[in-house]
């Protein structure tokens, strides 16, 4: 054996072990960052989606989103990070590999907020998605309440429209005959997956409340 070669081999083995340990720590740091990003994305989405917290405090929702965040991480953020890692292997992109690994999941997180932000700005969008019909023509949205209760949630839209537009809405929904009490008529539909939808119209004032409950 060449003098000094044993020391060199031990040094090389130590350096290789340190590099392996550093890579392992880096992977765990990236996974931790993705988990935090998934939780922040879910919680931010909840703050945008729900605007009423009567009996379910905000911090409860934060804990709930923390519990489900590993599933979101596996479905959305980890695949995005793997795509970034694959792109980082391209010679021209090797210098920004870490940026791609974390940057693409950040873009996914921002993208997840867009639908909730648009619904918050324009609740008529969510009405049409939940009711399955167009929002009444020339109707004015008076109030929008989106309530979180863990997995369950309820949404209420209060709006004013002409009698003609409200009758057209009733026809479009096609829920059948309503329950008329005085000047107020109520229409009800049970969901196959649980929960219900309810439309309450005050024909005298022209104010209607559409309620969607998911349980």
Please indicate whether residue 203 or residue 51 has the higher confidence score (pLDDT).
Answer: 203
Q: Which of 121, 139, 155 is the endpoint of a domain?
A: 121
Q: Which of 98, 121, 144 is the last residue of a domain?
A: 121
- Residue range 68-89: mean pLDDT, rounded: 94
- Single out the residue in 73, 100, 121 at which a domain terminates: 121
pLDDT of residue 199: 97
What is the pTM (predicted TM-score) of this model?
A: 0.81
Grade residue 3 by pLDDT with cuts at 50, 70 and 90: low
Average predicted confidence (pLDDT) for the chain? 89
- What is the per-residue pLDDT across 96-141, written as a single tens digit (0 to 9) for each? 988 999 999 999 999 999 999 999 999 999 999 999 999 998 899 9
* Domain identity same for 132 and 197: yes
Cα dist from 1 to 8, 9, 171, 197, whole Å = 12, 11, 94, 84
Decide which of 41 and 98 is more confident. Answer: 41
Residue 37's Cβ-side half-sphere holds a number of Cα atoms within 13 Å equal to: 26
């Amino acid at each position: 054996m060449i003098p000094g070669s044993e020391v060199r081999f031990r040094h090389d083995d130590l350096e290789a072990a340190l590099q392996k340990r550093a890579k392992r720590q880096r992977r765990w740091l990236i996974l931790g960052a993705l988990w935090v990003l998934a939780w922040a994305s879910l919680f931010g989405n909840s703050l945008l989606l729900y605007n009423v917290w009567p009996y379910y405090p905000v911090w409860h929702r934060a804990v709930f989103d923390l519990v489900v965040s590993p599933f979101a991480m596996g479905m959305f953020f980890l695949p995005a990070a793997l795509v970034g890692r694959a792109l980082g292997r391209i010679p021209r992109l090797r210098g920004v590999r870490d940026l791609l690994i974390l940057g693409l999941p950040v873009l996914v997180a921002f993208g997840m907020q867009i639908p909730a932000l648009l619904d918050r700005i324009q609740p008529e969008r969510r009405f049409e998605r939940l009711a399955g019909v167009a929002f009444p023509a020339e109707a004015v949205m008076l109030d929008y309440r989106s309530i979180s209760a863990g997995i369950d949630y309820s949404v209420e839209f209060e709006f004013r429209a002409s009698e003609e537009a409200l009758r057209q809405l009733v026809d479009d929904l096609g829920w059948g005959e309503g329950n008329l009490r005085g000047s107020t008529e109520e229409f009800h539909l049970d969901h196959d997956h649980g929960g219900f939808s309810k439309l309450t119209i005050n024909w005298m004032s022209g104010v209607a409340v559409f309620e969607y409950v998911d349980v």
